[in-house]
Every structure is written in C-alpha cells, then in structure tokens.
Structure 1
Amino acid sequence: MQFGMQKISEDKIRQHAGILLKFEDTKEARSGVGQITTFNQLGFDGINQKPDGWYFPYDINDTAIVLETKAYEPNSNLNSNLTQLEEYIKITQRKYNQVVGILYNGNEAIIYKNDKFYREDNELFSKDYYLKLFTQSSIDKPKIYSCTKSINDNLHTNFGINNLKHRMIFTACALVADRKGANLNGLKGRDFATLQGEIIKTLENSYSEQKALNLKLDIIKEQFNLISFNYTKNQKAIDSFIDDVIAISGYIKAESWNGEDVMGIFFNEFTRYKGKSEAGQVFTPDHITSLMYRIANVNYKDNVLDACCGSGAFLVKSMNNMINEVGGNFNENAVRQIQNERLFGIEFDKELFALACANMLIHKDGKTNLTHDDARSEAACEWIKSKKITKVLMNPPYENKFGCLPIVKNVLDNVESGAICAFLLPSNKLEVGKKQVLKWLKKHSLLKIIKLPKEIFTRVKGAAETSIFIFKAHEPQGNKEIFGCYIKEDGLETVKNQGRHDLKGKWQELEDFWVDVIYKQSGDESCQWIKPNESLQYKMPEPKFEITEQDFKKVVLDYMLFENGIDKKEFEKTILESVLYGSDINLDEDEIKIKV
C-alpha cells in the first residue's frame, strides 16, 4: 500500500510499518514499533536511542531487523535519512552478526543487509521475507552436476543424439513431463517409444490452455519431433535417464531452490560441451543474472523483458525473485500475476525458443509471454511497445552479423519512459559503435558501466571481456557523466571439466558489496566518472610507473656513456676484462676514463 501524494505523519507511517512487517513479540523474539523503547531496554546496555521498530531474536545467531521511519512528504528524498539507519544498524551489530536495516516513509523502502545497501522497494513485506535475506541455499550442486553430466553423456553416447541443443530439448521436455504429472518412474523397464510418447503427450497437455493465446508454443513439439536417435534399445540407459531427470526435478521442487541453482546449472553444464552456440550467443552465468537483477532494481511490479532470451535464464531468475518478494507460492494470486503478466521474452533461434518455453513450463508459468521473433524486426518493436516494459535484463548476441547494436536500440526505443535497461555486452562494444550510440544518447541516458572480471566467459573460445551497461530509456543524456566501476574478481574458481564455481562461497558477500558501491556510486578505488563524448567504456587505469634503484643506475650509466661518446658494448667488454684480468677502471666526475 502506498499513501499517494498527501503528507503523512511519522506516527502513522510507523504504525502502518509495524502491521506490514508483523512486528509483535513471540517466543522467538522481542518485536514491536514505537519511539518510547530504548536500545538499552532491548538489551543493548547504555544505548538510550530509540528505534522506530525492531525484531530482536533471543538467539543472537538469528537475523535481526531494525526499522527507521520518516514522515511522508511529496518529493521528499528518503536517501537523506540514511545516516540514522546506518547508526542503528551498527548498534544492532554489537549483538547480532546478521542485521537487516529498513528505512521507510510509506511510499518507499530502502533495505540494507548489514552495512551494505540491498535494494529499494516501493512497499514493505512481512518480516519473513527480510529474514530470508541471509538464508543460504542448501541444494547439493555437485549432485546436480553429476546428474546433468550423466544425462548429457547418456544421450550422446547411448542414444546417439549428436546435436547439443537436441539433447537439451529432449531433457527439458522430459522435465516438463515430470513436473506436469507424468509418472516417469513407472516407465522404467518400458521401451523408448513409450517414454517418448508419454513425454510428448504430457507436453501437449501442459500448454493446451495457453495455445489459443500463443500458437508459437507448438514450436516445442515441432523441435522435439525433429530430434533423431541412432539407437534406442539400451534399457539400462533409458532407466538411468529417467532416474537423473527425476532427481533434477526434485531439486527444482525443493524450497531451497533459488532460481539459478538448478536450471542455470543444467543449461550451463550442457553448453560446457560447446562454448558458443550457432546463434552467436553465450549463456549468462548464474551469479551475473543475480547481480543484474539487483543493480537494475527489478521488483515484482515490473514488466521484465529479455529480447534475446535464449533458454530464459533472466526470466526464471526474475520470476523466482519476484515470487519471493510477494511472500512465496502461498500467495497464489500474486504469483499467478507474476507468471502471466510480468515476464516477457523474444527468441529468434527456434531451438532456443523451444528451450525457453520448456524452461518456463517447468516452472508452470510465463510461456504465453514468449514469442519467436527477430528482435531487429518492426513486429518485435510493436510487440515490445505493447507490453509496457519497465525493466530490461539482456545478454544479446555479440557479433554484428546478428544485429547486436540494432537490437539494443530497438529495445530502448520501445520500452516505457524511464525504463531501466541492463545489457551485458563486450566492454568495447559501444565505443566501437560510438557514432551511432551518441545518437541514441540524444534520446536515452547511459547511466552506469560495470566492467566484469576477465574470467567470466573464459570457457568461450574468443569471448570478449564484458561489461554491464545500464541505460534509462527516453531520458536524454545531456551533460550527465557515466558512473563506472570494475569488478576485478568474482571469487569463482575453475573446476576441471565443470567450469567456474563459487567453491568457497565468496560471491554473495561480493555481490552485496558491489550492489552497495553501484547504488551509492562510491566506495571502491575503481570508481570513475566518464564523459560520454570521450569514452563509452570503462577506462582501465594506466599501470603505475615504477623504477628500481638498479634501473635508475643503469639509465644514468647509459647516459654518461652516451655523453662521453663511449661505445656501450666496448665498455661492457672492458668491464668483463677488468674482472677477469684485474685491469683498473677510473671514473672521475667530469668524464669516464678507461685504463686497461
């Protein structure tokens, strides 16, 4: 609920916040709102300041929440009140290691995770949503990799499916069948034709209701039927495939699933065998989809577009985060609205489109808002315009022959006014196309450039270094400079035959740090401001010039030899002879005299 444009007192805001957050004492925590209770009374000795709201668990290892509220006035700047919130967070951190800080004025909420900015919202949710911010996924990623590798090897070796995307499509359709009620386990011991028939029957039933709205859903069946098999008589291989599909499906159903852990792993593991697809596209790493969602400040009220959606990674990430924001799957009406009205994707490649549809079907949503089209076309422009897009998350194909810059321009021109658009592109892409990009900036703004670690796409042969470019649509650049920063490392490590993984759990802390830096536009030595007319890429700092004492002496000696007309090689020969045969060398301050 937002209060609109009228002025609202802080007392009313505080009371309303307490209701939304469900702040009340329980057996697990002391909780409430009001400005009469001091930190001292809440267990923080000697601290007489009074928080507006609090949730302080009796177990100090649990997550605490501290609330600061402000009266609402139209056109007021909530950011100017962050100092008080940051102070309350520091106080709370004296006892708790995990603290969520909230600043709220009825129309806006700024959320901190410990001392780092987390996100902005235009409303508050129940405390349960904020308590989950520190919850780590417990999904067994090595097991998922093991299952996925087993599936890929099985389909390739035992069934003879040589086309990589066909192996992906067949597996994705099997996952749809399992998620939509097919009894795959009951098909063990049955022949391949029976398995294939059950998958296609369940697949057709799964989108029958949406088919009237999106005839292009038939492309899934079309692509499934194009898959050719060299051999289908290996019963052990059939049963092993079924076991692996059921195992992965179980992880998707798990409450600890957070959008990227299963499907992201699934698709990236398959594409590991082919660094770059025929469509000139690379699949976005899981942790980068998470970062882009946050720095574009996407929330459940946004209409999110990926106009080159590939397998649908950005859309699945957005869907999962948005569902969490409305309180999870128990909020059926809000979840249904997200699934059917908030996620939009375009994909030109038929095989990838089939994968995207299957991916969304696996999650029981969104498939009616996917279209098979060319993002460079007029039809795609009209489609985008009709969807009233407010946020864009994209990793378009990088090569010019696939229309990288025309796609970006089409998206910017046809989304809503003020839409925030985040594109993952080669770091020099806009600089190379500077002439045309500067024309865009007469209509749109380039707000931020975040250069990513060099290793992001190391598995992809010939892959460029990449950056995230954040635009604001339909707001001219004018004299505004562009904020830039450089995420030098992401904490991931390379595992043989498995790509790069967050083995030591470093990324979440790094993500929180960089979201904070990018929001505040300060806080790291890599931060810089870029004049658009001078550059459209992050400017790597010049390496520091350093000279050792030995280097300095060598330069001085070379200069003295030059000034006195002495041949350097002859001098070196004389030095060697002096060492070997005991010759004398005399140097005076006016000239160099050599005696042999």
Structure 2
Amino acid sequence: MIRADMIAAIGRKYLTSNIENDEYSYPKAFSDASLTFCPIQNSAGRKFERLDIRFVKDNISVLVETKQNFTKADEEQLSAYVEYEKALTGNKIVAILANTKNDNVKVWRGVISDGDFMPKETALRTMREYVDFYTSKINDKEKVMQNTYKLNELLHRHSIPEKLRSQFVGTCLLALKNDLDYSTPTITAAQIRARIKEVLEELLNSDINKAEKLALLNRNVLNGQYVRQLNIAAFREILKFIEDNILPFINDKSTSGQDLLNLFFVTFNKYVGKSDKNQAFTPDHITDFMAKITGVNKHSVVLDPCCGSGSFLVRAMTQALDDCATAAEQETIKRNQIYGIEFDENVYGLATTNMLIHSDGNSNIRQGSCFKLSDWIKEAKPNVILMNPPYNGQRIHLPEHYVKTWTKNKKEDPSKGLYFVKYIADTLNSINQQAKLAVLLPVACAIGTSGEIARLKSEILKENTLDAVFTLPNEIFYPGASASACCMVFKIGTKHKDMTNPDTYFGYCKEDGFKKKKNLGRVEQVDTVTGKSRWVEIEKEWIELYRNRQSVDGFSATHKVDGNDEWLCEAYMKTDYTKLTEQDFQQTINDYLAYLVKEGVMYEP
C-alpha cells in the first residue's frame, strides 16, 4: 500500500507532519517544545530521528513506519519512535509497521513487546478505531455480565459450589487463553485437569511463590472433589461456554479489555451465598477512578493490603503499563511495582489467577494478614495505596493488641475498616515513605464524630493529610454488600496542620451513570445516539473538580476539618435549588415517612 493510501485509510485530518513528505522529525518537535532530544541508535550506530507518518487524536498517537518489506530488525526503529513520542507527549500509542509493496501490517497497542503485539490486526483501521483500542467500544461489558449470569447457572447445574466458581472459571479462562485443547475425541476429564496444571506451572515458572500457589490451586480447584466429579461431557460444556460466550467479548490487548477481564471476576463474585453478602467487591469503574486520582503511572509502586480478587492491582498495572515507552519498563512494573496482600486463602488464589490472566507471571501477592507483613511492606516502599478493607472485620482479621481494646461483647471491628488506614499510614511513616492513599470506607467512617472512629480520625491527621472525600452512589456494591460508601484520599507523611492550604476537597458523586438491572447488578449506561458511555464524561467531571478543587453548588465543596468533624460533602456543600423538582420534594417526604415507620415512631394503617 502506498503512503497516500495509508494516510487516507487512517484519516488525513489527524495527520501531524512537521517536515516535507508528510514525515515527522522528532529533533524538530523536541526543539519546538524546548526539550532536549537524545537520539536513540542501534548497534550499527544508525540514529533514528524521522518517523514516516504520525497521527494524533485526543491523547492517542498512531505511529506508522513504512518499509518495502518489514523485518524483525525494523521493530527496533519503531520502538525508538515510541520512546520519543512518550517523552514528547505522554500520549497512549498505537505503533505500526506497514509494507509499501503489499498490504501487510504489524500492530502494537502500547510498546513494541510480545505482550502488546496484536496478531489479529492484519489491516489498517481508521483513527477512530485506533482510539477505540483504549476505550470500551470494542468490548461489550453488558454482554460479558449477561453471559456470566448464564455461566453461573450452568455451574450450578453441574454442582460446582458458589465459593469455588470464580477460581474454577478463572483457571479455565487462563488455560483457554493459552490454547487449551479440550475437543480431542479421546481426551478425558483427568487429562484436561492435567493440562490446566501444566499451563499454570509454565506461567508461574519465575514466581518465587510458585510452589505455594500451585499447591493452593491444585488443592482448592483442580483436585477438589467438585471438579474431580465433572465428567468429560460436563467439562467440555463449561469450557465451550467460556470460549464461545466470554472470550469473544474481551479484547485483552486494550485497556478496557483488561478491565473487562476484571469485570468478569467482580460480576461473577456477586453471585455468592448469603453468608458472603458482606463482601464488598470493588466495582471496576471505581477502581479506575481511584487509580486516576492517585496518579498511578510508570513510577508508581502500588500496594493493596486487602487485595481481594486483585481488581485494584489489575487496574493499577494496566494504567502504569500504558505510561511506559519500552518493554523493559513494562517488565519492571510487573516484577517490582505491584504488591498485594490477601488474608482469605481462596480469594488469594483468585487474585493470583487474575494477575496471571493479565500477563503478570511474577506477581508480588502474599497470602496472610497485612498486620504481620509490616517488614515486607516497608521493603516494597509503596508510594500509592489503593484499598477496600473489610468493613466488618472479625477478631481473627485484626491484630491482637487492637482487639484487646474492644469491649467483651464486640464481635466486629468498631472502626469499620478505618484501623487499616491507620496501620498502613503508621507503617509508611515509620520509614518516612510518603504516599498517596485512596480507600473505600462505609459512610459511617466519614460521619462518625465519637468513639473509636473519631479517635482514629484524629490520630490519622496527626501525621497525615485528609486530601479529599468523595460520597459515592447508593448501592455501589449492588448486588453484593449493602453498605453506602465513600472514597477517602490521604497524603501519607504530610501533617494535616502543616498544609499551606488545609482545606479538604469534598465531592458529592452520587450519580455515575450506572443503573440497576435485573440479574446483572449496576450496568453502565451508553448514549444510544453517540454510543458514548455516560460514565466516561461523569468521571472526567469528578476528576476535574477535584484537581481544580472547585466548589460547585450541588456537586462539591472545600472545608477545613479535623478528626471531630464530619468528613462528607453533604455537611458543607450548598444546595443548587434551581435543580430541585416537585419529585425531589415528594421523594424526601416518602423517605422520611419510611424512616419513621421503620423506627416505630409511626405505624402503617
């Protein structure tokens, strides 16, 4: 394909050349931006400076290097341009080698690495389609959720227990992604289990905790009595359903596709027994929001001390990888910058599988109590903490010296999870490690002005700053836990009283564009005309108000607070009366009447 046709195919309106022949000179671009240009050269001493074709839309750059017939050696040149582009713009990248003698192309989403290579991309797309590599349009979240519900029913029919389903399906998904053959006529169920084990062994080959993780997965999944009882017909039916109805709707080479894999776990874990309904699995769009407001990038060292299925770790890793310019940077992130701790043994296995699905074969996830791993946390030196601690932690979940302070009849953590924040902050402060910490907590922690919650709030502010609090939508965890939640953001290692501007930002984020849907939980709403997600625009507004620390009636406020105050936007923001309707008034009256009936002050006739 000639260059003119390539430009026409992607979109001339997005072409950004700065020298003749539609080429792009990085030395000139760096000079124009008052930046120092450091040329990259290969082993033969050849410097790479001019890219053949460059396109930009929003924060996405498409880089095309043309050759008569490209070879493996040409990838080095394209990789240099990716590094330049990252240093120049920080944009997300689609990198392409394209032949001029024929229509052959080779495409990477991100850096030039095996992990970012997209083998199914065999023809040029439009710029809009390349932008979609970093959006949700090429994936189908609701379809994944619908099929997860159907898969749950299928597993129920084959007597796979609810607590085992996520781990079992995650393991099957991982094996299918690595070319598991289950259709050979003579294959047995035992042979399928053996092959899945081989896949896990290969993926965990460089993991220092390989033996422990394999033993756990074998014991709880592959060799468990409920999986062993599956006959070959049942095993094939389950594997085929996953292959036909889950994998086709997930493009795991895009950011949104990786999020969808995580959404699969979160959605699946909502269909658990009543005894587990207090599990507050973090919705995927909230993990995305929290990773963004803490500024996760390629320099971040991220810790989740209560990592559950690994949703924060997956999201943080995805965001950090998108910030990379080279495969070496990506590998460093996977090996050295993502840390997690999970107490529950079964959920720990799920987190391990989740990270493996996202191509992290050497994940630094530990099984145990974060309160017994303080030295490990100090050694990691995290500068970003993302967490959703248990709100009803029992005595076994908390350290003994803290449990001894509870009253004799107290069965659950009186701090509702706030003690986890205090512990992590103290651990990092002990080594003078500054960090940004974002945590999901029940609203009770924000409005508590007495007792253990008030004491901990004051203690935390002695050495740390309350940067922001976001009131989140009602039933954010539906249909899992019923708690109303807020997101608190702290600056660890900066005393609240020492801040030049001590005002805390409070966001009233009650509308996220998601709606409850039967059997699916809360579902993202999409504009039927534009095809755009409502959440994308809402999230952008939340983040802009926070970063600019704007007070907007009905949406946000700033206020100076201490440990004795309420930490919630509703206490400080002004009401925007122009947006109130008669329906709002009637709803408030109805809610108040319902409250009076519930409290026994009034009785229904």
Is 1:467 aligned with 2:486?
yes
Q: CA RMSD in A?
A: 3.9
CA positional deviation for 1:431? 4.3
Out of 435-444 and 132-141, give the one that drifted further.
132-141
List gaps (5 residues or longer) in structure 2. Answer: 1-10, 20-26, 37-55, 62-85, 95-109, 111-126, 399-416, 527-532, 583-605
Partner of 1:488: 510
- Report the CA distance shift for 1:376/1:230 in structure 2 as closer, same or farther (over 3 A): closer
Moved more, 491-500 or 146-155: 146-155
| 8 A Cα contact 1:161 1:228, kept in partner | no
The DSSP-based 3-state class of the residue aligned with 2:298 is coil
Going from structure 1 to structure 2, the CA distance change for 1:165 and 1:226 (only over 3 Å counts) comes to farther
Q: Return the match for 1:530 from 544, 559, 565.
A: 559
Deviations along 1:284-310, one digit per CA (max 9) or x if unpaired, are 111101111111111111001111110
Work out whether 1:242 is the aligned partner of 2:207.
no
Please show how residues 366-377 of structure 1 align to structure 2 within 5 Å: 367-377=362-372
* Alpha-carbon distance, 1:226 to partner: 6.0
Shift of the 228–176 alpha-carbon distance from structure 1 to 2, 3 Å rule, reads same
**SS, match of residue 462 in structure 2:** coil
Structure 1 alignment gaps of length 5 or more? 1-25, 35-52, 56-66, 73-96, 103-120, 549-596
Q: How does 1:114-513 map to 2 (within 5 A)?
A: 124-125=89-90, 128=93, 135-137=134-136, 138-158=138-158, 160-162=159-161, 164-184=162-182, 186-187=183-184, 190-211=187-208, 215-216=212-213, 218-225=215-222, 227-229=224-226, 232=229, 235-247=232-244, 248-249=246-247, 251-252=249-250, 254-256=252-254, 258=256, 261-274=259-272, 278=276, 280-327=278-325, 331-365=326-360, 367-377=362-372, 380-401=373-394, 402-403=397-398, 404-415=417-428, 417-432=433-448, 433-461=453-481, 463-478=482-497, 480-504=502-526, 505-513=533-541
**Structure 1 residues 500 and 279, CA gap change in structure 2 (3 angstroms):** closer
TM-score (norm 1): 0.66
Aligned residue type for 2:441: L
Asked if 2 retains the 8 angstrom alpha-carbon contact of 1:346 and 1:375, the reply is yes
Deviation at 1:240, TM superposition (A): 2.0
CA displacement 1:115-136 (0-9 Å, x = unmatched):
xxxxxx9974357379876753
Q: Secondary structure at the match of 2:570?
A: coil
Instruction: Tell me how far apart the structure 2 counterparts of residues 255 and 417 of structure 1 sit (CA, whole Å).
Output: 34
8 A Cα contact 2:200 2:214, kept in partner: no
Q: Tell me, what secondary structure is at the counterpart of 1:182? A: coil
Q: Which amino acid aligns with 1:304?
A: V
Alpha-carbon distance in structure 1 between the residues aligned to 2:576 and 2:273: 36
Equivalents in 2 of 1:394, 1:226: separation in Å? 32
Residue 476 to residue 233, structure 1, CA distance change in 2 (3 Å)? closer
TM-score, reference length from structure 2? 0.66
Contact 2:206 2:361 in 1 (8 A): no
Amino acid of the residue matched to residue 498 of structure 1? Answer: L
* SS of 1:263 mapped into structure 2: helix
Structure 1 residues 226 and 304, CA, compared in 2 at 3 Å: closer, same or farther?
Answer: same
Distance change in 2, residues 1:98/1:502 (3 Å): farther
Question: Any idea what SS the aligned residue of 1:420 has?
Answer: strand
SS of equivalent to 1:475: coil
> How far does the alpha carbon of each residue in 1:405-456 deviate from its partner, in whole angstroms, 9 at most, with x for none?
3322222223363311100111221543011221121111111111111131
Change (3 A) 1:123 1:357: farther
Name the CA distance, whole Å, in 1 between partners of 2:88 and 2:423: 32
1:325-357 deviation per Cα after TM superposition (whole angstroms, max 9, x unaligned):
225xxx422221111111100000000000001
The separation in 1 between residues aligned to 2:274 and 2:300, in whole angstroms, is 31
Give percent identity, aligned residues only.
Answer: 27
- For residues 129-178 of structure 1, give each alpha carbon's deviation from its aligned partner in whole angstroms, at most 9, with x where no partner exists: 798767532113344234423332222212x122x221111111112222
Relative distance call for 1:219 and 1:399 in structure 2 (3 A) is same
Contact kept? 1:276, 1:460, Cα under 8 Å: no
| Contact 1:173–1:199 under 8 Å retained in 2 | yes
